[in-house]
A and B are shown apart, each in its own frame.
Chain A
Amino acid sequence: METDPNTMLDQWAEDSEYKWGFVTDIESETVPPGLNEDVIRLISARKSEPEWLLEWRLDAFAKWQEMTEPPWAHWPDHDWRPIDYQAISYFSAPKSDDDRPKSLDEVDPKLLETYEKLGIPLEERAALAGVAVDAVFDSVSVATTFRDKLAEAGVIFCSFSEAVQEHPELVRKYLGKVVPRTDNFFAALNAAVFTDGSFVYIPKGVRCPMELSTYFRINQMNTGQFERTLIIAEEGSYVSYLEGCTAPQRDENQLHAAVVELIAMEDAEIKYSTIQNWYPGDENGVGGIYNFVTKRGLCQGDRSHISWTQVETGSAMTWKYPSCVLKGDDSVGEFYSVALTNNHQQADTGTKMVHVGKRTRSNVVSKGISAGKGHNTYRGLVKILPGAAEARNYTQCDSMLMGSACGAHTFPVIEVENPTAQVEHEASTTKIGEDQIFYCNQRGISSEDAVSMIVNGFCREVLAELPMEFAVEARALLALSLEDSVG
């Protein structure tokens, strides 16, 4: 079927205008809320996608309609706001500069204060606050230099949409291979309606010359709620990818359902670091983002290595389990996580380590910090399949509680089907003690600095896994997220 975007849009508007009771303003390039096949056709058409990708989306959508939203745990202290999937607008062209703040003077001063505290460089603050970027600083030149350097090494780093146009064979070969489009409710939804994301391809034997950061991907400020990332590391290559940002970003969406797929071939290594600081809602638990993400890496080749590191401080509710399928012999999977919940936030996170190949190893270190009425849940699976002779796993799962109204929950599942495997699980729960804070106070250290010091000490093993600059920001972020949580 030939799909011309404009015809599609017209037709769709015509079909749906009265049925759904809204009026389509074609000029605005934003699709009215609602989800049906036509919306998906429209998204695909607007992005000039090949037919196979449209079919892929439609198939995911058909399966999604048969699935039910997971009745996942949410603990008391959080008023679950049902997600109305028909109320979401699934396609929106980037906002025109006219709609954005013209300068920092028009931005909420509280937001700017936070940037200040986090030590975000002045020129970056504007971009984060959604100020029309090119009016403020010339980020294009930075990005261009960056791209030239990558191209020299043969690394492909571009938006997902670009990859679909320029490297369709790679996208087609790997898309959905690690996270099948019907993997779960939110992955299926993402597959049906994803709008953009990142694509990375590291050729054989190449060590990516720099850390790839989404920050440089300035061409999609409006990636939106349904982001899709695909990273392929060919034989013997290495890449470190940084996602997110310590600064709270302006965002009015309720639901985020991203999908990330990683594939590491023989002797390849992928290091994926995330700082997630989406809007957590206010101190009474009003508003905030639901962050339901599917992240999975496939250690396809022998001796391949995938490492997830995350610092999760944002979102009203997070469900996220970055996982590794250790298929290649001697492959290694790692998961290092800090999740901090304050006020009414809830984080349900952990990992799945599936050992398929021989002598595969996995290492899991999870640190959950709960303050206010926040709840933290570790949910993990370590699965050793019959063929995974001499597989090893070590899991360490520590919880820290601040105050008496918060909660920490741990649900580790271990399934071992090979008798030569070795699996260890250690867990601890500590309460940040008044006596610890008093001890610091008595040495002249303020309560705020004391809490930050104690929390950073608690998370040290995880923070050590972050690239240097990210780690410094993460420390500041942890301290900031706990501000006012000590009496």
Chain B
Amino acid sequence: MSLLEIKNLHASVDGIEILKGINLTIEPGQVHSIMGPNGSGKSTLARVISGEETYDVTEGSVLLGGKDLLDMDPEERAREGIFLAFQYPVEIPGVSTKYFLRTAVNSIRAHRGLDELDAYGFLKLVKEKAAWVELDPALLDRPVNEGFSGGEKKRAEIFQMAMLEPTMCILDETDSGLDIDALRIVADGVNQQRSPDRGFLVITHYQRLLEYIVPDVVHVLLDGRIVRSGGKEIALELEDKGYGWLEEEVAAGA
């Protein structure tokens, strides 16, 4: 069974259609990348999959391991295995990152029929996973994302992903605002989490990230539709020529 199966997905916000029939299938163990210019609908796709209520799904279906995601609240989707690494992670003042994560980890464990992690087990896990993204454990005593630098926020997202052990990871422009060293660290963190039963959807503007996280399939999103899919060579072509030629080609074909 496919891990994630999106069929003819249409979504709009305030009556304006953003996604205009997305078809996308991700098999377990695969890394897919979505590229596209600003406003093409990349982030919308990520948010619709994870269940943000701002968007109205008007048509189509999204299945995770055969289960209908669109029927679920966002927290249920997360417990079923959807993880979204946010482009702009929000701050939650006064709530320590550790406390937040422990609540998250235990909500998800409860859903999977596992026992709650006690303080010791939790801290052990934290130590192990924080090392993956070279995250200073002292950060975890601070309130969620508060006073984190841009790079720290992104690393913290990947760290959270490691803690929650999702089956379907969506990275929404995780590379934006990162310098090359931070990019490498984040990419290493992601690569360590690649596994035969886990899928990735990496949303990015630039080919740069894909040098570190090598995708199996690259899709190009234009105006709410996937206009081309193929190997990582597409990314290189886009890097070279921009999106203009594709837009023209699509227009000509239409």
Chain A positions near chain B (C-beta within 8 angstroms): 430, 433-436, 438-447, 449, 453-454, 456-461
Are A443 and B78 CB-contacts (below 8 A) given A433-B90, A449-B103, A453-B103? yes
Is the beta-carbon distance between A444 and B93 smaller than 8 angstroms? no
Give A453's nearest chain B residue, CB to CB. B95
Report B66-77 CB contacts with A as 1/0, cut-off 8 Å.
000000011100
Instruction: Tell me, rounded to whole Å, the shortest Cβ–Cβ distance linking A325 to chain B.
Output: 32
Give how many A-B residue pairs fall within 8 Å (CB-CB).
77
Is the beta-carbon distance between B95 and A439 smaller than 8 angstroms? no
Query: Which residues of the other chain, B, contact A443 by a CB distance below 8 angstroms?
Result: 78, 100-101, 104, 107, 160, 164
Query: Which residues of the other chain, A, contact B99 by a CB distance below 8 angstroms?
Result: 453
Q: Which listed residue, A433, A436, A444, touches B75 by the CB 8 Å rule?
A: A444
Query: Which residues of the other chain, A, contact B51 by a CB distance below 8 angstroms?
Result: 441-442
Are A444 and B104 CB-contacts (below 8 A) given A435-B90, A439-B90, A453-B92? yes
B50 contacts the other chain (CB 8 A): yes
Task: Tell me, in angstroms, the Cα distance from A459 to B93 when the chains sit together.
Answer: 10
Q: Which listed residue, B78, B92, B94, B95, touches A444 by the CB 8 Å rule?
A: B78
Are A439 and B75 CB-contacts (below 8 A) given A444-B107, A456-B94? no
Task: Tell me, in angstroms, the Cα distance from A446 to B107 when the chains sit together.
Answer: 8
Task: Tell me, in angstroms, the Cα distance from A459 to B86 when the chains sit together.
Answer: 26
23 CB contacts below 8 A, A to B, read: A430-B93, A438-B52, A438-B74, A440-B104, A441-B73, A441-B78, A442-B74, A442-B83, A442-B84, A442-B86, A443-B78, A443-B100, A443-B160, A444-B164, A445-B103, A445-B107, A446-B107, A447-B73, A454-B92, A456-B95, A457-B92, A458-B93, A461-B94
B21 contacts the other chain (CB 8 A): no
Give B161's nearest chain A residue, CB to CB. A443
B186 contacts the other chain (CB 8 A): no
Is the beta-carbon distance between B100 and A453 smaller than 8 angstroms? yes
Task: Tell me, in angstroms, the Cα distance from A482 to B164 when the chains sit together.
Answer: 28
Instruction: Tell me, rounded to whole Å, the shortest Cβ–Cβ distance linking A158 to chain B.
Output: 40
Task: Tell me, in angstroms, the Cα distance from A449 to B100 when the chains sit together.
Answer: 10
A contact face: mostly helix, strand, loop, or mixed? helix
Chain B positions near chain A (C-beta within 8 angstroms): 50-54, 73-75, 78-79, 82-84, 86, 89-90, 92-95, 99-101, 103-104, 107-108, 111, 143, 160, 164
Query: Which residues of the other chain, B, contact A438 by a CB distance below 8 angstroms?
Result: 52-53, 74
Is the beta-carbon distance between B95 and A446 smaller than 8 angstroms? no
Query: Which residues of the other chain, A, contact B164 by a CB distance below 8 angstroms?
Result: 443-444
Other 9 A-B pairs with CB < 8 A, given A439-B90, A445-B104: A433-B90, A440-B75, A442-B50, A442-B83, A442-B84, A443-B107, A443-B164, A446-B75, A453-B99
Give B111's nearest chain A residue, CB to CB. A444
Instruction: Tell me, rounded to whole Å, the shortest Cβ–Cβ distance linking A79 to chain B.
Output: 33
Is the beta-carbon distance between A441 and B103 smaller than 8 angstroms? no
Is the beta-carbon distance between B104 and A436 smaller than 8 angstroms? no
Give B166's nearest chain A residue, CB to CB. A444
Query: Which residues of the other chain, A, contact B50 by a CB distance below 8 angstroms?
Result: 442
Query: Which residues of the other chain, B, contact A459 by a CB distance below 8 angstroms?
Result: 94
Instruction: Tell me, rounded to whole Å, the shortest Cβ–Cβ distance linking B249 to chain A.
Output: 36
Is the beta-carbon distance between A457 and B73 smaller than 8 angstroms? no
Q: Which listed residue, B54, B74, B92, B160, touches A441 by the CB 8 Å rule?
A: B74
Task: Tell me, in angstroms, the Cα distance from A440 to B103 when the chains sit together.
Answer: 10
Task: Tell me, in angstroms, the Cα distance from A439 to B52 when the chains sit together.
Answer: 9
Query: Which residues of the other chain, B, contact A444 by a CB distance below 8 angstroms?
Result: 75, 78-79, 104, 107-108, 111, 164
Is the beta-carbon distance between A436 and B92 smaller than 8 angstroms? yes
Query: Which residues of the other chain, A, contact B92 by a CB distance below 8 angstroms?
Result: 436, 439-440, 453-454, 457
Query: Which residues of the other chain, A, contact B53 by a CB distance below 8 angstroms?
Result: 434, 438
Are A457 and B143 CB-contacts (below 8 A) given A439-B89, A439-B92? yes
Query: Which residues of the other chain, B, contact A434 by a CB distance below 8 angstroms?
Result: 53-54
Central interface residue in A434, A436, A443, A453, by most chain B CB within 10 Å: A443
Query: Which residues of the other chain, A, contact B103 by a CB distance below 8 angstroms?
Result: 445, 449, 453
Is the beta-carbon distance between A442 and B78 smaller than 8 angstroms? yes
Instruction: Tell me, rounded to whole Å, the shortest Cβ–Cβ distance linking B229 to chain A.
Output: 27
Instruction: Tell me, rounded to whole Å, the shortest Cβ–Cβ distance linking A332 to chain B.
Output: 25
Task: Tell me, in angstroms, the Cα distance from A461 to B94 when the chains sit together.
Answer: 8
Central interface residue in B84, B103, B104, B160, by most chain A CB within 10 Å: B103
Query: Which residues of the other chain, B, contact A445 by a CB distance below 8 angstroms?
Result: 75, 100, 103-104, 107
Instruction: Tell me, rounded to whole Å, the shortest Cβ–Cβ distance linking A402 to chain B.
Output: 14
Query: Which residues of the other chain, B, contact A436 by a CB distance below 8 angstroms?
Result: 90, 92
Task: Tell me, in angstroms, the Cα distance from A459 to B103 when the chains sit together.
Answer: 18
